[in-house]
C-alpha cells in the first residue's frame, strides 16, 4: 500500500495495519511549507529491504522511498513511491528518477512506480520539461498505467498521478 502526503507521522502513534509490516516512511522535517512525505505498507508475508542507495529524499523537491520486495511470487520487485510538490523543478525529478530506473535496468529487474508528481503529463506536447520526463520514462520501455486525468475541476483536467510498471 503506497501513501503520499504523510506529513504527520508521530513516533508515539501506532499506525499498524493487520497483515502488514510496520509503516515505512520518509517525511519532511518541516510541515509549515506544505505536506509531502511518502510511505509504504508491505504485506507481512513478504520480505523487503529499503534501498537506501536509491531512496532520495530532498524536501520540497524530490521525495522518494525505494523498497525491494525479496520473495515476491515472480522474483524481486523494486517499488518506488515518489512525491514532487507543485512548482518543484521537473529537471531535478527527471534526473533522480532516471538514475533510479537506470540502476534497476542494469540489475535486470522490473519496477513498479507510484507517484503524485504534480506535473501535468497531458502537456507533454507544449511543455518541454514534461516532454523530457516522459521521454526518459519511455526510454526504458515503460507504459503508463494511468492515462486519464486524475484532477478534474470546472476549469481544467490534469493528469498528475503516475503509476507505471516495467515488465
Angle, CA 72 vertex, CA 71 and CA 75 arms, to 5°: 85
Q: What mean pLDDT is predicted for residues 78-85?
A: 84
pLDDT at 167 over 70: no
Q: Mean pLDDT highest for which of 25-34, 68-77, 96-105, 152-161?
A: 96-105
The class of domain 2-10+14-166 in CATH terms is: alpha beta
Residues 6+ apart with CB under 8 A from 139: none
Whole-Å CA distances, 114 to 10, 31, 86: 24, 22, 17
Name the grid cell of 9: 507521522
- Residue pair 57/64 in contact (Cβ under 8 Å)? The answer is yes
Over residues 120-155, the pLDDT tens digits come to 777 777 878 888 888 888 888 777 777 666 667 777
pLDDT at position 52: 92
Going by C-alpha positions, the residue among 123, 41, 50, 46 that lies closest to residue 90 is: 123
What letter does residue 105 receive in the DSSP assignment?
A: H
- Residue pair 20/42 in contact (Cβ under 8 Å)? The answer is yes
Backbone angles phi, psi at 116, to 5 degrees: -105, 100
pLDDT at position 66: 92
Residue 115, strand partner residues:
82, 162
pLDDT at 10 over 80: no
What letter does residue 159 receive in the DSSP assignment?
A: -
Q: What's the pTM? A: 0.75
52: left (phi over 0), alpha (psi -120 to 50) or beta: alpha
pLDDT band at 63 (very low <50, low <70, confident <90, very high): confident
- Residue pair 80/24 in contact (Cβ under 8 Å)? The answer is no
Amino acid at each position: 500500500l503506497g501513501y503520499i502526503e504523510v506529513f504527520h507521522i508521530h513516533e508515539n502513534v501506532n499506525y499498524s495495519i493487520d497483515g502488514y509490516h510496520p509503516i515505512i516512511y520518509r517525511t519532511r522535517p518541516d510541515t509549515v511549507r506544505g505536506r509531502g512525505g511518502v510511505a509504504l505498507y508491505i504485506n507481512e508475508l513478504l520480505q523487503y529491504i529499503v534501498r537506501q542507495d536509491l531512496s532520495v529524499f530532498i524536501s520540497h523537491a524530490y521525495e522518494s522511498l525505494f523498497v525491494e520486495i525479496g520473495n515476491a511470487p515472480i522474483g524481486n520487485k523494486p517499488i518506488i513511491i515518489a512525491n514532487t510538490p507543485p512548482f518543484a523543478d521537473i529537471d531535478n525529478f527527471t534526473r533522480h528518477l532516471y538514475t533510479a530506473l537506470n540502476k534497476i535496468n542494469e540489475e535486470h529487474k522490473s519496477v513498479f512506480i507510484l507517484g503524485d508528481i504534480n506535473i501535468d503529463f497531458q502537456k507533454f506536447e507544449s511543455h518541454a520539461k514534461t516532454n523530457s520526463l516522459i521521454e526518459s520514462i519511455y526510454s526504458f520501455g515503460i507504459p503508463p498505467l494511468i492515462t486519464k486525468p486524475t484532477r478534474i475541476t470546472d476549469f481544467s483536467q490534469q493528469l498528475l498521478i503516475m503509476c507505471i510498471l516495467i515488465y
